[in-house]
Chain A
């Protein structure tokens, strides 16, 4: 298994009582709340954390893109990937992902990813995402055309990386007389493309298509849903497209916290993981799902469920642990849960979110060291031999 560290780079100094003043830490929280002195400290701290995990033997480091929010300070993950690309000599550098379709010119991102691929000698992984709904508010892009722009931006970028230039590209949204980027990517035919998602059938079917066979990554979900969606990838490949998906085409991203005992881990992690889910990830339905972001049918379904969920009680760390959304405990507990999930689901990529919410520099560093030395080596040894293969009973056993 390939094991990555994943970072969101949250603004830990956010006023956690902001809800009296603003409805969300996204879109509407004024940027006067951002202190550049704190920003200077945080960016350098977070880069140190990623570099430490790479030094301690993880297979890769991953960054991601979010705009106009305290949840994550990486409107351009390319800047972070570039900053990491010289110091990290062996591990892969994954941008999970870049929202190509939020750009008026996705080619500039394609060029930047190709540059990092050249600098690192082919250690770049390119995630392609639509961006979350809130970003259609903050980037001024029409969510009603989000799906079509995503697909067209993807086609443009892949062609730019693979077709000999210069060539013309004329789509519905993007138009170029000369597509001819220098540099071309280092990897052939191009950097691996990953699709992170919280579980969209459309994304799974698209990623699994034989023309693409992209890595599908399930993020922040109950382990039962992880099983369901990753199995859906395998099933789609087998039943719909007639090929057997490799286990290296699926992955899972989850928050991890390790301390001496389960109790100790819960005590330390609790306020920070709860801040992440309840404060940093606090979005209204209208921010999360602007019209057209979801297909009409999905949107109608979501209103019934998600809307109540969004208005509901704050989640607790205990709930996140019970559902398997976060894995928090002693090294033995964390290792056992991940081995068990792998035995039943068979994913060959795991991304550990080792800093979350307000977790401090000291706690994060201890967490990184323990994960990298006491858990990751076991995971890195797991192969398809330890995977039982899919069965409904096995999936249910995770509940």
Chain B
């Protein structure tokens, strides 16, 4: 299936967007490390949905804007984007997000009536007391595979493919943008936590059982805050949708009512 790439203008510069498949639209928001490739997980979702995946402002091939310094700012850009793309009809848009993209997805669902369903894969955005997180800011890129994957070898293969070619320099932009958004407080926002009850869309939480960045207690904690279904994925770390693409895709599709 073709991956269709387009550039969309926004108040915060140009956003690079990719689409695949047909059907009810599903907006996927990538995580803190960006998304250079087009993973198997999205290909599976695209069997049943029109998958739409923007590079978030400052990440990948989207412009950086001085206006975007917080995930709330990112969310304002996304609110404009779903208007621009004609995706804002009430209860029409399936939304999924990973890590910092899951955080932005919750912010979006707090504010927008367009969201039909919300799937959070190892989402950042909230704090769980007494649970130590893995620090990918102090880790070197060589340490990413062991930190972020249950299977280090799978992680090495993933990051090698992601970093191929010109993307090497984009990784700097991704790290910088993730830092701007998530350094302190570290990957969460108390205001978001206070406003989670505004989310009306049905919500599920998918978590890697071996997540060393946001440990499983974060998954159960977030599911409790959202009163959401929790699906634990064995043999999966922080990149559960990469390591267990089929299981994660089935969990996602089981929930979007494809």
Measuring CB to CB, which residues of chain A are less than 8 angstroms from any residue of chain B?
Answer: 27-28, 136-137, 140-145, 284-287, 290-292, 296, 299-300, 303
Contacts and interface: CB of A to CB of B under 8 A. Distances in A.
A303 B180 CA distance: 20
A331 to B, nearest CB: 44
A1 B172 CA distance: 43
A284 B143 CA distance: 12
Interface string B155-174: 00000000000000100110
Contact of B138 (A140, A287, A299, A303): A287
Nearest to A23: B138
Contacts of A299: 172
B195 interface: no
A389 to B, nearest CB: 41
A291 B140 contact: no
A137 B175 contact: no
Contact of B179 (A27, A142, A284, A285): A142
A291 B175 CA distance: 6
* A-B interface, 9 closest residue pairs, ranked by CB to CB distance from nearest: A291-B179, A144-B180, A142-B183, A291-B176, A291-B175, A144-B179, A140-B184, A292-B176, A286-B140
11 contacts: A136-B183, A140-B184, A144-B179, A284-B140, A286-B139, A287-B138, A290-B137, A291-B137, A291-B175, A299-B172, A303-B172
B104 interface: no
B105 interface: no
B178 interface: yes
A247 B172 CA distance: 39
Contact of A300 (B69, B172, B183, B184): B172
B91 to A, nearest CB: 37
A144 B179 CA distance: 6
A144 B184 CA distance: 11
Contact of B184 (A27, A28, A142): A142
Nearest to A299: B172
A318 B241 CA distance: 52
Contacts of A303: 172
Contacts of B69: 145
Contacts of A137: 137-138
Interface residues of B, number: 15
Given A142-B179, A142-B183, A285 B140 contact: yes
Contacts of B137: 137, 286, 290-291
Nearest to B178: A291
Contacts of A145: 69, 180
A8 to B, nearest CB: 23
A142 B180 contact: yes
B138 A144 contact: no
Contact of A292 (B138, B139, B140, B180): B180
Contacts, number: 47
Interface in B57-95: 69
Q: Which of B137, B176, B180, B183 has the most CB of A within 10 A?
A: B183
A286 to B, nearest CB: 5
A286 B140 CA distance: 6
Contact of A296 (B138, B176, B178): B176
A28 B172 CA distance: 24
A64 B128 CA distance: 37
B150 to A, nearest CB: 23
A297 to B, nearest CB: 10
A251 to B, nearest CB: 33
B173 A143 contact: no
A136 B180 CA distance: 12
Contacts of A284: 138, 140
Contacts of A144: 176, 179-180, 183
Contacts of A285: 140
Contact of A143 (B139, B140, B169, B179): B179
A292 B175 CA distance: 9
A285 B176 CA distance: 15
Given A286-B137, A286-B140, A296 B172 contact: yes
B122 to A, nearest CB: 21
Nearest to A285: B140
Nearest to B141: A286
Q: Which of A285, A291, A292, A303 has the most CB of B within 10 A?
A: A291
A141 B179 contact: no
Contacts of A296: 172-173, 176
A141 B184 contact: yes
A28 B69 CA distance: 28
A12 to B, nearest CB: 26
B138 A27 contact: yes
A286 B138 contact: yes
Contacts of B139: 286
Contacts of B140: 284-286
Interface in B121-151: 137-140
Contacts of A290: 137, 179, 183
Nearest to B169: A300
B107 to A, nearest CB: 19
Given A27-B138, A286-B137, 8 more contacts: A137-B138, A142-B179, A142-B184, A144-B176, A284-B138, A284-B140, A290-B179, A299-B172
B174 to A, nearest CB: 9
Nearest to B179: A291
B179 A292 contact: yes
A103 B20 CA distance: 47
A106 B193 CA distance: 30
Contacts of B173: 296
Contacts of A140: 183-184
A338 to B, nearest CB: 39
